[in-house]
């Protein structure tokens, strides 16, 4: 049980608490938890002075459990795949609940290598992904260009991950907020200094890097710089698939959206500032244009930097906080916050209602950091 005494469900609406669930953080994960909890009849407040302005605002929205499966991250890959499998139903349910689109697209992802060395690196990774039984199929350069004619003819080869999809995180957060508010959740647009200030039976900390100061969990900021381009003349972009590319040793991804936008991302820097640097913009643009030359003609409409919440093992931290009755962590999603939104929200809502953590969460419990917990602050 999360709260001790009577079961959580028995005590809902009977306790002296102002609310059942206080969610700290109004990003994708926070609003999704709020929606799922409110839809189950719980009184929910979401606490954030600037909802939707954190990592979700910067994120590209790749739903890529295959192309983002890396060596040594087997358990995380399993969670990514389990969450990605929930995405089609989650997207449909959300569109219905919010009455708005979220830019969910299922065109698939192409992994491409520009040079022989790039291809060797990409091939090593997709061989590993295939060993795990993940759906990714090698393609010849001509097959790649048939699927995506905007790719440079210089591309040496690649693969397709047909089940790796995408969503627009800004539209996602707006829709989640609408769905949560329609289900009865309310926003408290003030910062939370201490969890003990919240008068809630259960507090869910979905505050990204801010979770470190609130909980002592070892969540660190990992800076990402990212660009948004726009096709000239307001037309659709000249590419349909998400491209996960390696270009002269530079990893880059391109995410085309219906409205003409192409997101180009992202740096991964062990830093806590959110400055945009000329060098990063140069590297991202050079890699993007090397792979898809027509991008040189696009407008550069945005260059931003955000902070991903990373943990010592780069996996999320989801579950009851040891020694803090009624406090649940839902953070540390690092590079995977958007793809992990549905499973995090569903399993946290289950935990809040039943007091039991789903076995899927066992590798991601905050208890794994109990010995090393320290106050890590994000800049
Ligand atoms: N999800 C991709 C990134 O964090 O850059």
Q: What is the pLDDT along the chain (379 residues), one digit of tens a residue?
A: 344 333 334 433 446 899 999 999 999 999 999 999 999 999 999 999 999 999 999 999 999 999 999 999 999 999 999 999 999 999 999 999 999 999 999 999 999 999 999 999 999 999 999 999 999 999 999 999 999 999 999 999 999 999 999 999 999 999 999 999 999 999 999 999 999 999 999 999 999 999 999 999 999 999 999 999 999 988 899 999 999 999 999 999 999 999 999 999 999 999 999 999 999 999 999 999 999 999 999 999 999 999 999 999 999 999 999 999 999 999 999 999 999 999 999 999 999 999 999 999 999 999 999 866 544 434 3
Q: Is 309 in the pocket of ligand 1 (CB under 6 A)?
A: no
Residue 53, Ramachandran bin (φ over 0: left; ψ between -120 and 50: alpha; else beta) = alpha
Please give the model's pTM, rounded to 2 decimal places.
0.94
Taking the centre of ligand 1 as the mean of its atom positions, its distance from the CA of residue 165, in whole angstroms, is 14
Query: Boundaries of CATH 3.50.50.60 in the chain?
Result: 8-58+169-219+312-378
Which residues of the chain form beta strands (DSSP E)?
19-24, 44-47, 62-63, 109-113, 137-139, 157-161, 165-166, 186-188, 200-205, 220-230, 242-247, 250-256, 261-265, 299-310, 317-320, 327-331
> Regarding the domain delimited by 8-58+169-219+312-378, which CATH topology (the fold level of the hierarchy) does it fall under?
FAD/NAD(P)-binding domain (3.50.50)
Rounded to whole angstroms, the Cα distance separating 262 from 171 reads: 15
> Regarding the domain delimited by 109-162+221-309, which CATH topology (the fold level of the hierarchy) does it fall under?
D-Amino Acid Oxidase; Chain A, domain 2 (3.30.9)
Nearest CA to ligand 1 atom 2: 335
Nearest CA to ligand 1 atom 1: 335
Q: How many alpha carbons lie under 13 Å from residue 257 in its C-beta half-sphere?
A: 22
Query: Boundaries of CATH 3.30.9.10 in the chain?
Result: 109-162+221-309
Rounded to whole angstroms, the Cα distance separating 352 from 327 reads: 10
Contact present, 49 and 78 (Cβ < 8 Å): no
346 contacts: CB under 8 Å, gap ≥ 6: 36, 86
Q: Is 64 in the pocket of ligand 1 (CB under 6 A)?
A: no
Taking the centre of ligand 1 as the mean of its atom positions, its distance from the CA of residue 367, in whole angstroms, is 26
Q: Is 62 in the pocket of ligand 1 (CB under 6 A)?
A: yes
- Give the rounded distance of the alpha carbon of 369 from its chain centre: 22
């Amino acid at each position: 049980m999360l709260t001790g005494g009577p079961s959580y469900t028995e005590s809902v609406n009977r306790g002296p608490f102002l609310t059942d669930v206080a969610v700290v953080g109004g990003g994708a994960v926070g609003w999704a938890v709020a929606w799922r909890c409110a839809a189950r009849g719980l009184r929910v407040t979401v606490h954030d002075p600037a909802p939707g302005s954190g990592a979700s605002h910067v994120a590209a929205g790749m739903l890529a459990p295959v192309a983002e499966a890396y060596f040594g991250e087997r358990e995380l890959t399993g969670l990514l795949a389990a969450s990605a499998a929930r995405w089609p139903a989650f997207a449909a349910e959300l569109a219905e609940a919010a009455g708005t689109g979220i830019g969910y697209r299922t065109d698939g992802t192409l992994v491409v290598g520009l040079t022989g060395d790039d291809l060797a690196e990409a091939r090593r990774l997709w061989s590993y992904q295939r060993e795990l039984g993940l759906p990714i199929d090698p393609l010849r350069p001509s097959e790649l260009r048939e699927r995506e004619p905007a790719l440079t003819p210089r591309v040496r080869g690649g693969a397709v991950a047909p089940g790796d999809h995408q969503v627009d995180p800004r539209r996602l957060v707006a829709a989640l907020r609408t769905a949560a508010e329609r289900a009865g959740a309310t926003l408290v647009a003030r910062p939370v200094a201490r969890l003990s200030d919240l008068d809630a039976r259960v507090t869910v900390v979905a505050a990204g890097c801010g979770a470190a100061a609130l909980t002592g969990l070892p969540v660190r900021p990992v800076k990402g710089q990212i660009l948004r381009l726009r096709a000239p003349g307001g037309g659709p972009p000249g590419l349909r698939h998400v491209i996960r590319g390696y270009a002269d040793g530079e990893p880059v991804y391109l995410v085309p959206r219906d409205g003409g936008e192409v997101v180009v991302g992202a740096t991964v820097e062990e830093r806590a500032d959110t400055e945009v640097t000329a060098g990063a913009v140069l590297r991202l643009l050079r890699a993007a244009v090397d792979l898809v030359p027509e991008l040189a003609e696009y407008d550069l409409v945005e260059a931003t930097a955000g902070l991903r919440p990373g943990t010592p093992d780069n996996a999320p931290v989801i579950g009851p906080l040891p020694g803090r009755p009624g406090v649940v962590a839902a953070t540390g999603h690092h590079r995977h916050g958007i793809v992990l939104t549905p499973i995090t929200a569903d399993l946290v809502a289950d935990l809040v209602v039943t007091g039991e953590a789903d076995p899927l969460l066992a590798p991601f419990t905050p208890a794994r950091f109990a010995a090393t917990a320290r106050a890590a602050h994000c800049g």
